Structure 1
């Protein structure tokens, strides 16, 4: 499977939103609430310049967004979504590795992410460590950090 990672373009916004919503709904948790929230199926315009896209056969199948963090030494992984039919195929790991690389290139020493408990093993297997919990719109989530080279 040849996955191509590239910068996001303005014309990708609808496709990114669709992947985000599909992925968010895949577990079946909070489905009605998610469908009622416009932001559940869109990527903010301000995040688009910071997004990277995974393509498979010319089709967007995932994306990640890395923005500046609390200070110059930290970056924030805002989004990491993969089309549910392609979970566990390595696309998420490729996006995460590229996000980490970009954050480090911009001078960040750590990458911070807020994730649900179901995603925690994915991040921990990629070297992230538990850094606390935080409230989200639907349920508590974990905060994870990874030291970057």
Structure 2
């Protein structure tokens, strides 16, 4: 029987685990390996973000995390991070983290959630109701800029 995924707010004790998980997830596709290994941001989550980080645990181990920040526009929140350990990809961890990120964005007063996704993650976000609004330059390649209207959550 498979363990249940537990979603919670990160603690400062979790901080040291987030950077390595971010790098592991980023390397999981096998793209841009040398560039990722050379980029300090690929293995780092600012400590100041920890209060805004949601972690997913499976069998007591952190297997994913998402960061939701207030956006430049008060009505839009930013999904800064969503990373899942490759060994649990396609088991619902990302979907549960995204659902909680959406709830947290609404709690911040946002009516929409914005994300700069990798091209590989684009289908995941589209299946979750995001729409592409453009492309932006990143360190490695152009990436989809995506938006999701959260108004349906705010009436609850």
Partner of 2:87: 85
For structure 2, the 5+ residue unaligned runs are none
> Which aligned runs of 4 or more in structure 1 are off by greater than 4 angstroms?
none
Give me the whole-angstrom Cα distance separating, in 2, the residues matched to 1:129 and 1:39.
Answer: 26
1:73-111 deviation digits (Å, cap 9, x = unpaired): 000000000000100000000000000001011110000
Note if contact 2:76-2:113 (Cα within 8 Å) is conserved in structure 1. yes
Note if contact 2:25-2:86 (Cα within 8 Å) is conserved in structure 1. yes
Give me the whole-angstrom Cα distance separating, in 2, the residues matched to 1:94 and 1:27.
Answer: 21
Over aligned residue pairs, what C-alpha RMSD do you find? 0.8
Select 1:103's aligned residue among 102, 105, 109.
105
For structure 1, the 5+ residue unaligned runs are none
Select 1:128's aligned residue among 115, 130, 144.
130
Note if contact 1:67-1:77 (Cα within 8 Å) is conserved in structure 2. yes
Select 1:139's aligned residue among 138, 141, 146.
141
Number of residue pairs matched by the alignment: 149
Note if contact 1:52-1:64 (Cα within 8 Å) is conserved in structure 2. yes
1:33-63 deviation digits (Å, cap 9, x = unpaired): 1111222111111211100000011100000
Question: When the two structures are superposed, what TM-score results if normalisation uses the length of structure 2?
Answer: 0.93
Give me the whole-angstrom Cα distance separating, in 2, the residues matched to 1:38 and 1:70.
Answer: 25
Question: When the two structures are superposed, what TM-score results if normalisation uses the length of structure 1?
Answer: 0.97
Select 1:70's aligned residue among 69, 72, 79.
72
Note if contact 2:70-2:108 (Cα within 8 Å) is conserved in structure 1. no
